[in-house]
Structure 1
Amino acid sequence: MEKQLIQQCGKLLADNKITMALAESATAGLVTGAFSLCANAGEFLMGGLVCYDVSIKEQLLDVSPALVEEFTPESTEVTFAIAKGLASIIPADLHIGITGLTRPGGSETKEKPVGTIFFCGIFGENKLFEEKVVFKGNQELIINQAIVYLAKLLITALSKTKK
């Protein structure tokens, strides 16, 4: 199911001539890797950047340290900022940011437990989606669920959007 969804999403991107770039924190490049396995990845996948450490978010993606301080690295606000910052590095139609908590030791709270993943998609100049989802399981399971969720999210959002 996961591979079929990703292939379907990749086909939708390619058919609509929409290019995509990803800035990944919690998923550490695994989403980009999953999409790179699409037969037509060269038609839509521009690239990805792993910004696991906050210093990469701040130095490469121009995320304000004050924003990180106020909202934590794993937040809706920082996820939007990494997607926006990615646009200045990798040219694409769609820029996606992903942050979250896949294991203990981050900024987890009762309201933001381990398993919380934030997704933000910017299409051109407009926010396409912004979501916070809590997944269950170990680190690998959380990441795999996040990949599937993003593919479904993209299919839904892109079905309503044309370039």
Structure 2
Amino acid sequence: MASDKVTACCQTLIEKNLTISFAESASAGKMCYEFSTVLNSGKILIGGIVCYHSSMKEDLLHIPWGTIEQYSAESAEVTKLMAQNFYRYVGSDICVGLTGLTTPGGSESEAKPVGTIFIHIIFGEKQIAKRYEFKGSPESIINQAIDVVADLILMEI
């Protein structure tokens, strides 16, 4: 069941006849799934791609070789490229890219602890890039990130 924020976001997208797509890493498809559970989501949801491993980001989303090594798979730079490159292939009005750290074992550091999430949203010519640090379990971190995405979209449309 989608959160109230996701439901409100979807209802507004439906009212405004806007479509959405997702390029996900840390959320592993949950964001696309949550948006799919709202009544009439078929009117707005184009689809999504899950590129969890670096090889998928490079091979399917054409993240230039060396970019992930330079910035890490969980970075603003990679998230931006994921959103931009997926947006080019998908005919949606809005495209959301999301990467981050929900568990130890990635590129976490003092400056980028577990709970750090990067979001990049494209609205045609306008783009929004955000970095957040959430607390809680991996599932809680993802749920908080999904609600933030819904809020960011609602503020823009």
Normalised TM-score (structure 1): 0.92
AA in 1 matched with 2:86:
L
- The Cα of 1:41 is off from its aligned counterpart by 0.6
The aligned counterpart of 1:161 is none
The 5 Å alignment of 1:70-149 reads 70-127=70-127, 129-149=128-148
**Distance (Å, rounded) in 2 between the aligned partners of 1:52 and 1:37:** 22
**Distance (Å, rounded) in 2 between the aligned partners of 1:7 and 1:137:** 23
**Distance (Å, rounded) in 1 between the aligned partners of 2:126 and 2:35:** 23
The 5 Å alignment of 1:1-80 reads 3-80=3-80
Say yes or no: does 1:152 pair with 2:155: no
Q: How many residues align?
A: 157
**Residue 10 of structure 2 aligns to a residue in which SS?**
helix
Among all aligned residue pairs of Structure 1 and Structure 2, give the percentage whose two residues are the same amino acid: 42
**Residue 99 of structure 2 aligns to a residue in which SS?**
strand
**Residue 82 of structure 1 aligns to a residue in which SS?**
helix
- The Cα of 1:89 is off from its aligned counterpart by 2.8
**Distance (Å, rounded) in 2 between the aligned partners of 1:34 and 1:15:** 18
- The Cα of 1:93 is off from its aligned counterpart by 1.1
- The Cα of 1:126 is off from its aligned counterpart by 2.8
The Cα RMSD (Å) is 1.4
**Residue 22 of structure 2 aligns to a residue in which SS?**
strand
**Residue 22 of structure 1 aligns to a residue in which SS?**
strand
**Distance (Å, rounded) in 2 between the aligned partners of 1:126 and 1:143:** 24
**Distance (Å, rounded) in 1 between the aligned partners of 2:155 and 2:50:** 25
**Distance (Å, rounded) in 1 between the aligned partners of 2:93 and 2:121:** 10
1:117-140, Cα deviation, whole Å (9 max, x unpaired): 00000112331x110000001111
- The Cα of 1:154 is off from its aligned counterpart by 1.2
**Distance (Å, rounded) in 1 between the aligned partners of 2:148 and 2:126:** 21
What runs of 5+ residues in structure 2 fail to find an aligned partner?
none
**Distance (Å, rounded) in 1 between the aligned partners of 2:141 and 2:87:** 26
**Residue 89 of structure 2 aligns to a residue in which SS?**
coil
1:93-147, Cα deviation, whole Å (9 max, x unpaired): 11110000000000001110000000000112331x1100000011111111111
**Distance (Å, rounded) in 2 between the aligned partners of 1:83 and 1:15:** 24
